[in-house]
Structure 1
Amino acid sequence: MRHRRLAIGGWILGVVLVTLLGSLIGTSTLGDDDYSVGEDGRAQSTLDAHGFTSPANENVLIQRPAQAASPEELLADPELRAALADVAARLDGTGEVTNLRAPIALPGVEANPGLVSTDRRSVMVTFEMRGDEDTATDRIDPVLAAVAAAADEHPGLLVEEVGEASADKALGDTIGKDFKRAELLAIPLTLGILLAVFGAVVAALVPVALALTAFVGALGVVAFTSRLLPTDETATSVMLLIGLAVGVDYALFYIRREREERAAGHSPQRALEIAADTSGHAVLVSGLTVAVSMAGLLLTGLSVFSGIAGGTVIVVLIAVLGSLTVLPAVLSWLGDRVELLRLPWHRRADARAAAASAPGVDRKTTSTTSVAGTAGVDLTRPGLTGRLLRRPGIVAVVTGGLLILLAVPALGLRTVEPGMDDIPDDLPIMQTYDRVQAAFPGEQTAAVVVVSAADVRAPQAVGAIDALRERALASGMMYEPITTEISADGQVAKISIPIAGEGTDNASLRVLDTLRGEIIPSTIDPVSGMSADVTGWTAGSADFNAQLNGRTPLVIGFVLVLAFLLLLAAFRSAIVAAAAVALNLLSVAAAYGLLVVVFQHHWADGLLGYTSTGAITNWLPLMLFVILFGLSMDYQVFVLSRVREAYDSGLPMRDAVLVGVRRSAGVVTSAAVIMVAVFSIFATLSQVSMKQLGVGLGAAILLDATVIRVILMPAVLTLIGERAWRRRPVADDDDRGTAVPVPAGDRRPQLPAQAPAPAVPPAPAGHGPFSGMGDFPRHRQD
């Protein structure tokens, strides 16, 4: 490249510039209200408009070993009363809490008899953290220390704290360590696999450098786009995941082709030109398809998905830009130095290959039989793929049938909002949570009814709210303590009602349906001028699911149609584009079925170190679809490009498929191994939802790169045969890279005419960063 210094310098300067500018203006992040939709979002807006804040609620459980004969006897216990007074005093002394409540009257504490458990051995002190809920986690340490001191002072009682801020801190510490470990492992693991693939340190560093600079640059650009599409930490994690995937894949595709052309005898400049014309085109089509897949998330109308969509589209497009500009420039600048710092075993392999091709070696034993358009693929030795392609119909039916069978369990897929059961149950905070739930059912999963009226303190409004309370308790699914807060303007009442269930399970959803469908219509709605909306964890989950489920078909349709149109434009064949889309759908469906088999049952609990929740995280199916559809298209486009090249060189379709698959097998397998390894890291994280993401992505990529790309897709293309494309005029060898033309009227394998000696001696067999992995079978020795 004549302007390689400009390309490399421009890339580095651009990444540094957007990163600095992005850090100066900052990134707009999603607020709590941005996650709310439907009735839940309407209720949250009402609370915000009337001055309600959302402080972090905390609870201190005080439990004695023995059960009392009655609640009165329990509250008369001197040790229990002393502990209540001590806990309240220590909490008040921190200066970080407000609205203290206890089951007995204490100085500065509101008495609430509902804070006595029906188990007759547990009581609770509740309070709220002062200040902003978002910063409560940073200020919870003195409060935790006060409770711990009270627990030490009363060893005969169990004294424990659990709540929003304390749980966030405990979970943040655990999950933060998980993700830090994952991020620290992902890059070295990727680099290690690339070292095994290329056999040279410099060659292995190039794809990682491209991926990481694309990610860093994308973070800077996101700072600007976040004004329209606010983002969060989840979006950043997905950006890193996708950026690493596509950046490494595209560099692998490009470097592989450039090395292949160098080994075929082309000059460095010509090899790069051929790589740009072939792999560069495949990278562009693949990148646009991945971007379209991720952009489909915008149609959900959910802020969390919009942030992910915006970030991932940007990182993919930047990776494509880098692959088409700075990557060729770097390869041109490095030249053969890309093979510096070769690993010892690769050097030995190179020496053996060089010896085999040295002058004086008997050509009768080393000469090869080249077949038109094969360039290193011996069609007289078909291998496994060639044998399978002799019966493409049977192979397609059997393989497709097995994948459909694997997809069948997906019909029973059940989704749920990730709740407390998404967290490892061996954490101390989770054990405290379980004890509070057992003593005070529903306390941690309250539904919040937001009642609006001209004056909620008017007699009619008060009567309606009292009726709501009575009906709720009479249902047997809602419990004390029910608390009511009135806004300063008297127009809104916030009623908190503990409910049955874990918050997102069927029991909690039945309570929500009862509240919305029976109790509110019979108590609040009949009063003129009054209305009520339900919010809370259960309501938020239900409304999120409702909107997600309603928009999912739209997202899937959008992605399928645009992916088909892109493939149609790239390959000029409607039947090939339709087959590619169908195979990708089959890959995703099989991944869904595998998720159901593993995570909706208990047989893999011990293997993966979790307890099955009996459901799949609600955001995961759609996220898996767009990620898998995009990444699968990487391999799809690359394989189809090589098949099309071989077909245009004059080979019959079956031979073109065999050549295309063999030429692309090494790089597709290498890319898949990297992705499976990186995704597998997520299966080791603590959260069940992250395990589901890791297993789903890893297994699907493995299936896609092996069963579908190596077996099913070749069989389908062979069945399509000559209907796939019209024959193009055959170009000469210099224009088409390593392909050698065959006369259009002759479809039999031909021996090439003696070619003139190339201007640049070809690299010896096995030489280059791909030797030892990804090299295809050599021509048969006669």
Structure 2
Amino acid sequence: MASFLYKIGRSAFRRRRLVALLWVALLALAGFGVATAPAATSSSFSIPGTEAQRAFDLLEERFPGSNADGATARVVFKAPEGRSVNDPEFKAEVTEAVADLTSGSDQVASVSDPYASQAVSQDGSTAYISVSYKTNPFELTESTRSALEQTGEAAREGGMTVEIGGDALQTIPHTGAGEIVGVVIAAIVLVITFGSLVAAGLPLLTALIGVGIGISGITALASTLDLGTTTSTLAMMIGLAVGIDYALFIVSRYRVERAEGRDAEEAAGRAVGTAGSAVVFAGLTVIIALVGLAVVNIPMLSKMGFAAAGTVAIAVLVALTLIPALLGFAGDRVLGRAVRKALAAKDAEDAKGAEGAKDGAPETGGAAAGGETAKPNAGTRWARFVLRRPVVVLLAGVIGLGAVAVPAASLQVGLPDDGSQPVSTTQRKAYDLLSEGFGPGFNGPLVVVVDGDAAAAESAAETIRGIEGAAAVTPPTPNKAGDAAMITVIPEDRPSSKATEDLVHDIREQSGDDVYVTGATAMNIDFSQRMNDALLPYLGLVVGLAFLLLMVVFRSILVPLKAALGFLLSVVAALGAVVAVFQWGWLGSLFGVEQTGPIMSMMPIFMIGVVFGLAMDYEVFLVTRMREAYVHGQRPGEAIVTGFRHGARVVTAAAVIMIAVFAGFIGSSEQMIKMIGFGLAIAVVFDAFVVRMAIVPAVLALLGAKAWWLPRWLDRALPDVDVEGDRLRGSASASDGSGEGDADRELARV
């Protein structure tokens, strides 16, 4: 592989104008697709194979025109203390609001009068108007939302408390300026790492081009493939982080190759052949983890995974082709000032040596070739510290992450509703008013669909009335054909409670095979169960495939095993931190968490997939340098030090960049994006700095040469991908064997 990528790097460097033109044309084509594609809408949510989904499908089939996907709103009225919504002046206000909502927009499908539909609480303190719309929340016009809000404001002037719940006021989530701050931090880190504005700008430029193409493609296909509104945000989050990191590693290796005295084209080829090999395998682990989300069999999650995986694939291709092309345009401006001076001095000394050779004087090895030893950098010093105290470092890392992981034992999962909104929002206030006036279960009604005639529906309703936990059961509402009926069940407890979950299971068990339970609450329960059932198979698939991939890369059994175990430790610790902040509320105000609640059901499995792929990035980048040193004759301990000397600073910079990018999304208005941004950022902190930088070298130090053991029969069976670039060592270069002092100094700096 290294030889193949070496050729790609040199070819892209030589044909840089063509390569750059092709990427710009691809970006323009993707932009044209966005401009001409229909606008994206909210993704349809389905859970194939569950009872809630079967009931939902039956409802759409037997009750045509029910508009189950349409937006809804509840305008809730609360009379002042001691008064009733049945008082004449308040009743007139509510009736006027019904009329205003009916005529306020042509997107309104129906408006219910609370006095006719018995939507008034028993004590008369609370009433609500139900509004149904013809389209989903994201297709509602601003004028429709304004009419809804103005109706509420007008009703408040009469002295009542008026709040609006439902999803009609839901808008496409925004991420704010946080991601911009993340990119700015990434730029600062790159400048500090490289000491060159040009070198710092290349990873940012190429990452933005790759993400631009990926996000534009997702946006252009969003309506056709029903990708939804959050898919592009998640793809941007992951694509931006890995795009910067992959480019960072190749540019860093290029600078090292140039510092060794090789000409620019040769250095570009070797950088892509060596660091590019690590990029390919790191990218493959991320792609495997994201594509593997399809095993959960939830279309929305699968689409998110495929879209993000596509963006990662583009980031890999950009790093392998566009980076060497841009290096050709940049020339030596990507090098630090000290290295440029050293190379100029070496060129002058080479010229002088050549002239001296003509006069019979002995040749010298160049200005910087003399065997100088680089001063130990921070990575070298840390590696030597770990080698001296591997047990202490290992125990400190494991115990520390274990302590952070403790809250994960209290993990509660669910899907957000208006009850998880900040208490300052009108949706949350409406939710609380309905709970106070009609009972806590009113906000999570169950929809029971009976596949049968009127007698079967009445029998099912009677059975449900006798089940513990059902506060109210409406009479069956038959369809026009008389072959199905719909029953609404109000639980006694809140939607996310264990009692409501038990009620759903009891109805399903006691009501017969032709009775199905659906509704938002039942869908949430089935979704959470699907997530739990898929967790272990997904973990086994992703970890198993990545284990095989890493075994090919490292030619070892214990190194991939150690990598997988370290990942499990970091992801559980990250889940513990998520529970502490978003469920328990610890430091919640610091991260903008206004309302605590259950962790979203998809969070554990999504974090496992994404964090595993990202964790393997650092494993591949750091440990391949150790492997390279070991196979070239260094002792195991020396190889660890060499790996850290070559890669610690770059890996640290890459981790800081990724943390900054993910943390930028904590400012999102969407709770899911906020939670994922925090979870991924803290997971990278744990995995990069505790697992890869501390636990990994400690374990390798304890294992010694055994870490790289592989049975001979397995070694012969596995393909030789030459990640270390052994086949490149004998290739022609501008000045192999010279400039070693410069290389040492550059490595010490980088």
Shorter-chain TM-score category?
A: 0.7 to 0.9
Note closer, same or farther for the CA distance 1:652–1:229 as it changes in structure 2 (3 Å cut). Answer: farther
Picking from 72, 78, 90, the partner of 1:57 is: 72
2:503 match: 511
Note closer, same or farther for the CA distance 1:207–1:417 as it changes in structure 2 (3 Å cut). Answer: same
1:144 match: 149
1:159 match: 162
Picking from 283, 288, 309, the partner of 1:287 is: 283
- Is it true that 1:775 corresponds to 2:749 in the alignment? yes
Note closer, same or farther for the CA distance 1:30–1:566 as it changes in structure 2 (3 Å cut). Answer: farther
8 Å contact kept, 2:457–2:485: no
Q: Deviations over 1:618-647 (max 9, x none)?
A: 111111111111111111101111112222
> Between Structure 1 and Structure 2, how many residues are aligned?
703
Aligned-partner Cα distance in 1 for 2:34–2:76: 46
Instruction: In structure 2, give the amino acid aligned to 1:231.
Output: L
Picking from 50, 54, 58, the partner of 1:38 is: 50
State the 1:435 CA deviation. Answer: 1.7
Aligned-partner Cα distance in 2 for 1:575–1:621: 26
Superposed, 1:297-308 pairs within 5 Å as 297-308=293-304
**Which range moved further: 580-589 or 627-636?**
580-589
State the 1:272 CA deviation. Answer: 1.7
Note closer, same or farther for the CA distance 1:625–1:78 as it changes in structure 2 (3 Å cut). Answer: same
1:742 match: none
State the 1:515 CA deviation. Answer: 2.7
8 Å contact kept, 1:37–1:544: no
1:479 match: 472
Aligned-partner Cα distance in 2 for 1:135–1:429: 19
Q: The residue matched to 1:496 in structure 2 has which SS?
A: strand
State the 1:121 CA deviation. Answer: 2.0
State the 1:79 CA deviation. Answer: 2.0
8 Å contact kept, 2:622–2:647: yes
8 Å contact kept, 1:274–1:736: no
- Is it true that 1:12 corresponds to 2:15 in the alignment? no
State the 1:731 CA deviation. Answer: 10
**Which range moved further: 726-735 or 540-549?**
726-735
Picking from 65, 78, 97, the partner of 1:87 is: 97
Aligned-partner Cα distance in 2 for 1:207–1:80: 63
8 Å contact kept, 2:42–2:229: no
Note closer, same or farther for the CA distance 1:118–1:585 as it changes in structure 2 (3 Å cut). Answer: same
- Unaligned stretches of 5+ residues in structure 2: 1-12, 350-366, 711-719
8 Å contact kept, 2:222–2:228: no
State the 1:280 CA deviation. Answer: 1.1
Picking from 650, 671, 681, the partner of 2:664 is: 681
8 Å contact kept, 1:62–1:159: yes
Picking from 457, 462, 469, the partner of 1:467 is: 462
8 Å contact kept, 2:206–2:318: yes
8 Å contact kept, 2:203–2:243: yes
Superposed, 1:281-360 pairs within 5 Å as 281-338=277-334
Aligned-partner Cα distance in 2 for 1:161–1:19: 38
Q: Deviations over 1:289-342 (max 9, x none)?
A: 111111110111011111012112211111111111121121122211336xxx
Q: The residue matched to 1:233 in structure 2 has which SS?
A: coil
Note closer, same or farther for the CA distance 1:58–1:395 as it changes in structure 2 (3 Å cut). Answer: closer
1:434 match: 432
8 Å contact kept, 1:447–1:496: yes
Note closer, same or farther for the CA distance 1:332–1:533 as it changes in structure 2 (3 Å cut). Answer: same
Q: The residue matched to 1:498 in structure 2 has which SS?
A: strand
Superposed, 1:129-278 pairs within 5 Å as 129-130=133-134, 135-136=139-140, 138=142, 139-152=144-157, 154=158, 156-166=159-169, 168-169=170-171, 172=172, 175-176=173-174, 179-219=175-215, 221-222=217-218, 230-278=226-274
Note closer, same or farther for the CA distance 1:422–1:286 as it changes in structure 2 (3 Å cut). Answer: same
- Is it true that 1:735 corresponds to 2:733 in the alignment? no
2:447 match: 448
Instruction: In structure 1, give the amino acid aligned to 2:390.
Output: P
Superposed, 1:494-509 pairs within 5 Å as 494-509=486-501
- Is it true that 1:489 corresponds to 2:481 in the alignment? yes
8 Å contact kept, 2:180–2:664: no
8 Å contact kept, 2:405–2:573: yes
Instruction: In structure 2, give the amino acid aligned to 1:160.
Output: E
Q: The residue matched to 2:112 in structure 1 has which SS?
A: strand
Aligned-partner Cα distance in 1 for 2:88–2:42: 48
State the 1:26 CA deviation. Answer: 5.9
Aligned-partner Cα distance in 1 for 2:223–2:138: 20
8 Å contact kept, 1:624–1:696: yes
8 Å contact kept, 1:649–1:731: no
Q: The residue matched to 1:448 in structure 2 has which SS?
A: strand
8 Å contact kept, 1:483–1:497: no
8 Å contact kept, 1:33–1:41: no
Aligned-partner Cα distance in 2 for 1:548–1:381: 40
Aligned-partner Cα distance in 1 for 2:423–2:632: 61
Q: Deviations over 1:19-73 (max 9, x none)?
A: 53576566987753535650111011111112132243332323222336xxxxx
**Which range moved further: 618-627 or 710-719?**
710-719
8 Å contact kept, 1:23–1:220: no
Instruction: In structure 2, give the amino acid aligned to 1:61.
Output: V
Aligned-partner Cα distance in 2 for 1:381–1:208: 25
State the 1:231 CA deviation. Answer: 1.8
State the 1:550 CA deviation. Answer: 1.1
1:400 match: 398
**Which range moved further: 409-418 or 91-100?**
91-100
State the 1:544 CA deviation. Answer: 0.8
2:120 match: 116
Aligned-partner Cα distance in 2 for 1:731–1:85: 78
Q: The residue matched to 1:479 in structure 2 has which SS?
A: strand
The two structures have a TM-score, normalised by structure 1, of 0.81
Note closer, same or farther for the CA distance 1:41–1:378 as it changes in structure 2 (3 Å cut). Answer: same
State the 1:708 CA deviation. Answer: 1.8
8 Å contact kept, 1:289–1:630: yes
Aligned-partner Cα distance in 1 for 2:628–2:374: 14
Superposed, 1:696-711 pairs within 5 Å as 696-711=679-694
Q: The residue matched to 1:67 in structure 2 has which SS?
A: coil
